[in-house]
Amino acid sequence: MLEHLFQPIKIGKFEIKNRVKYAACSVSNFNNLDGTVSERELARMRVISKTGCGIITNQGAYPDRKGEGKGYRRQLAIYDDKFIPGLKKIADMIHAENAIAIQQILHAGRYGGIDIGYAIQPSAVPQRLRHYRPVKEMSKEDIKRVIRDHAEAAGRAIEAGFDGVEITAFQGYILANFLSPFTNKRTDEYGGDVENRCRFMVETIDAIRDKIGEDKLLSVRLNGTELLDDVGGSTEEECIEYMKIAEKAGVDIISIVVGWHESTRGALGRDLPTTQWLYLAENAKKHLKVPIAFGPRFGDPKLADKAIQDGIIDLWEICRPALADPEIIQKAKAGRFEDIKPCLGGLMCLSTMFHDLPYICTVNPRLGHEVEPEYEIRPVTRKKRIAVIGGGVAGLECAMAAAKRGHEVVLFEKEDRLGGQLIPASKEVGGGEVFLKLIRYYETQLKKLGVEIRLNTEVNAKIIAQEGFDAAVIATGARLDRVYDFDSLNTPIFTAIEVLKDQVETGEKVIVISGERAGLVAAEYLATKGKEVTIVEEGKKVARDVIPTFKWRHKAWLREFKINVLTESRIKKVENGIAFVETPKGLMEMKVDSIVIGGPRKPVNELWNALEFVVDEKYLIGDAVLPRNTAYAIHEGYKLGVRI
């Protein structure tokens, strides 16, 4: 199985053990503020080095002393020889696992200058995103200096022991700024037609090659599509021309990526099919002989194997799926697909990174905490009998971690299946089925670990007392109540959970109260069934409890499905199928067949008091503490499971 993915490949003088390239995978923000490698980063890279990938790309380091290229507070630096010892530790780790080590050079260009208050790019095209710095147009001397910085940085990477370097001509960073007509309005030899816009990239490639020699690897990451049609960005045909020019300039690998940070269309979220962008690689392959690495939104090892077999790609470039499960490659090679923890595609990793925080993974609580022993799964010193009450993600993660350590775990769930709020969440119109994959993962692991699961069982103090549990974990989640402050006559009122579980019939005209996530998902689900949906939200905005990287998607769906949204509004009363809604513009009347309560969610934690003086240890986790997102639930479940 997967015989093509695990075939060796020769690139340049290097024999690579398989067709998997670990992408630089964003900036972790784990490093020291001065750009040196931290112990936290070294611990993360130790895990990455053991993923089993044939090529491992270290995260991007900025190459200039001024910091114009620095895009993130804790980004690695490579502008001075003092950074070589730390980078050498990473190269040595990668080589110890028989993998090829590549150092990425990342000059953030338009998105840089985080410490100095301005950014540089070819032309003074204003920022579209407010949190980036004002831009300065580069002079020709600036251009020469940045090219020189790249070459010297590449030399340092080789001195640190890396087998090659990668430059970042994608996603709005400096080389992409020259390539794209959106940000390159120059009229000199560095602007205008495709050849001139590629001049900066070609000169950078030439300078790096002169520095590192012909026997080292040189990779370039290029957009297959910029997703900037609305502002005059590059066409997909132009993107292929950039690749052809890079190939002619002498690169060894072309890595295809998708989108810019300021694209108005998403590129990597679960709302897109996993093969969404594969056609970009297929089109490029028709024009190129250089090996192509591809991975955007392409997280399935079986599909990657097929793409290699079909000659569409040469290397599977993996990123977020390996953050979610660092053992994905070993598990895939062994045929243990049911043991792979799925990436949910919610992009929590980007949400934190874009706020200059260390990135985290919703489903992998250990990411970024590899250096901390208290996050490790360690055998128990005293085996306990533990009741985990609630089969949502907090309870499932806690039960799994505790059982791995050797505790005897009994998991109680009052419904007839595990999953809790992931079950209604799976009705999210774009990619919600991934939540069911996560449930199946937990079911598989708990079965293998021998966890006793009792469905259709509502726990009370008597059960806990009679069965002699040493500890009780209350992971009972949150609920939506049919609570409202208006009069309603003969108009049915449901909850978003009931709607998403297909337990009720709403009629054709529906008002959803609350623009929180549960309300949004229910409204979108109903709209796809042809219902006429209005959201009534008391606050100024909807999606308050949605993470930043998915907030825009819900707002796009509201437009796409023509869902009417009334903010700063509330229902005053409902009479004879007419809802009277107070809005900033006055009282509105609208026909309604049913009303759906979409928020706020409330914690279910009555057992906390009921178990007082019943059990030696009791704990409260997840939404039972306070309704939040999936990441909090999983992380709290794990952190309790590893220490209880």
Which class would CATH give 487-600? Answer: alpha beta
Distance CA 523, CA 31 (A): 42
Query: Would you report the helix, strand and coil content of the chain in percent, each value rounded to 5?
Result: 35, 20, 45
CATH fold of 378-479+603-641 reads Rossmann fold (3.40.50)
- The residue extents of the domains of the chain are 19-353, 378-479+603-641, 487-600
Backbone angles phi, psi at 86, to 5 degrees: -65, -40
Contact in structure between 582 and 570 (CB atoms under 8 Å)? yes
Given this model, what pLDDT does residue 484 score? 80
Q: Enter the tokens of residue 318.
A: 């993996």
**Same fold yes or no, 19-353 and 487-600:** no
Whole-model pTM: value is 0.95
CA angle, 31 as apex, 28 and 35 as ends, to 5°? 115
Please list the residues that pair with 392 across neighbouring strands: none
Query: pLDDT per residue over 316-347, tens digit each?
Result: 999 999 999 999 999 999 999 999 999 998 88
- Who contacts 527 (Cβ-Cβ below 8 Å, separation ≥6)? 533, 561, 562, 563
Given this model, what pLDDT does residue 640 score? 98
Distance CA 470, CA 618 (A): 9
Please choose, from the candidates 58, 57, 54, 53, the residue with its C-alpha nearest in 3D space to the C-alpha of residue 16. Answer: 54
- What DSSP line would sit under 3-42, residue for residue? TTTTS-EEETTEEESSSEEE---S----S-TTSPPPHHHH
Please choose, from the candidates 518, 556, 552, the residue with its C-alpha nearest in 3D space to the C-alpha of residue 537. Answer: 518
Given this model, what pLDDT does residue 1 score? 79
In one-letter notation, the amino acid at residue 358 is P
- Using DSSP's 3-state secondary structure scheme, residue 550 falls into helix
State what percent of residues in the chain have pLDDT above 70.
Answer: 100
Contact in structure between 405 and 383 (CB atoms under 8 Å)? no
Given this model, what pLDDT does residue 552 score? 86
Please choose, from the candidates 105, 197, 102, the residue with its C-alpha nearest in 3D space to the C-alpha of residue 148. Answer: 105
Given this model, what pLDDT does residue 356 score? 85
Buried b (16+ CB within 10 A) or exposed e, 248-268: ebebbbbbbbbbbbbbeebbb
Distance CA 592, CA 466 (A): 50
Please determine, looking at this structure, whether the domain spanning 19-353 carries the CATH number 3.20.20.140: no
CB atoms within 10 A of CB 583: 13
Residues in the chain with pLDDT < 70? Answer: none
Q: Enter the tokens of residue 588.
A: 């509105």
Please list the residues that pair with 511 across neighbouring strands: 534, 595
